[in-house]
Amino acid sequence: MVRFEYRKTEPIASVFHSHANYEIFYFHEGRGNYLIGGNIYSLSPGDLILMHGMTLHCPNMDESYKYVRTVIGFDPTYIRAIAGPLLTVNLLDPFEQLKNCRFPLQDEARSRFEALLAEMNGFHERTDAVSADRFTLSLISLLLEIYDIGQKPQGRGQDVSSEKEQTVQKAISYLEEHYVDDVHLDDLGEHLHLNKHYLARTFRDITGVTIFTYLYRRRVNQAKIKFLLERELSVTDVCFQVGFKNLSHFSRVFKQQVGQTPEQFRRMAKSQPEQNPVLE
């Protein structure tokens, strides 16, 4: 129900992913970008990112810097069940209304947020029942803090993107609009008025993946969503609706990314409760 990873330092691969759970990402140390859908956030220590998980997202960090972050993932139905009867505000509003956003925390707000994370970690490391309940209460306190941050319109961070980041954002926006079409690098370069080789190199520098790796992950992610939310569709239906032109190619790419064939994933999806699909 709750995944809590405090001050993680292990390097991770740049892999776009999605999930039904909501996610809190707090950046302690490092240097790099976080990509969420068509947005690229240049991270600074103290940045808080909220994610409505079904949007593709991926960190791309500079490996020459230590990467320290805290990640909390939770099932929104669990939070509704435990906090709904107790509180007058909806703790999930920042996730459901703002969807995916970044808040740069500074000074007192940053210190207060980091203290809440440290308190949560103290309870999380213990195994007794009282500490488990205190962990739950501290999570509610953290979500109340986030709710308060989200009520302040000046709190949302506005990035001053580099020219390369702006180029990649435009490329991703194009792919978001045309991922079901027959996309060619020549067409994308022409649309952006850029040399295709420069575009391909810049895209990889900023995102950590190639243009077509991103495109295929976007298509597979949409296929997973369709299997989970439109359960009457066949594998062939989904294949062509998300932009693949060949069923065997779709099956191969899907299995490489998901670890299951489309048919296996479809059967798993049909066996799940409809209100809380899992997209890990």
What the chain holds in terms of domains, given with CATH numbers, is 2-155 (2.60.120.280), 163-270 (1.10.10.60)
Position 18 pLDDT exceeds 80: no
For a pLDDT cut of 70, what percent of the chain falls above it? 93
pLDDT tens figures, 189-245: 999 999 999 999 999 988 888 999 999 999 998 999 899 889 999 999 999 999 999
Q: Give the single-character DSSP code of 275.
A: T
| Burial (CB count within 10 angstroms: exposed 0-12, middle 13-18, buried 19+), residue 177 | exposed
Phi, psi (degrees; rounded to nearest 5) at 90: -90, 110
Question: Long-range contact list for 131-137, CB < 8 A, 24+ apart?
Answer: 135/4, 136/82
Is 92's pLDDT higher than 70? yes
User: Is residue 227 within 8 Å of 233, Cβ to Cβ?
Assistant: yes
In this prediction, residues 1-17 reach a mean pLDDT of 87
pLDDT tens digits, 61-76: 999 999 999 999 999 9
Mean pLDDT of 112-137: 97
Whether the CB-CB separation of 61 and 30 falls below 8 Å is answered with: yes
Distances (CA, A) of 53 to 17, 25, 65: 9, 11, 26
- pLDDT category, 152, cuts 50, 70, 90? confident
The residue to which tokens 């440290």 are assigned: 118
| Residue 15 predicted with pLDDT over 90 | no
Task: Count CB-CB contacts under 10 A for residue 41.
Answer: 23
* CA distance to 17, 26, 145, per residue, from 110 (Å): 28, 10, 11
Check the CA dihedral 6-7-12-14 and report its sign. Answer: positive
Examine the pLDDT at 84 and tell me if it is beyond 50: yes
Quote the pLDDT of residue 280: 46
Q: Residue 278: what pLDDT?
A: 46
Calculated CA dihedral for residues 86, 92, 94, 98, nearest 10 degrees:
-150
pTM for this model (two decimals): 0.73
The residue-averaged pLDDT of 6-27 equals: 86
Structural element, H or E, at residue 58: strand 57-61
Name every residue whose Cβ is closer than 8 Å to that of residue 188 and which is 6 or more positions away in sequence.
171, 174, 175, 196, 199, 211
Tell me the average pLDDT of the chain: 90
CA geometry: angle 124, 126, 129, nearest 5 deg: 95
Decide if 91 contacts 240 (C-beta within 8 A). no
Poorest-pLDDT segment among 49-63, 95-109, 136-150: 49-63
Of 237 and 154, more confident: 237
Angle at 57 (CA atoms; ends 241, 132), nearest 5 degrees: 120
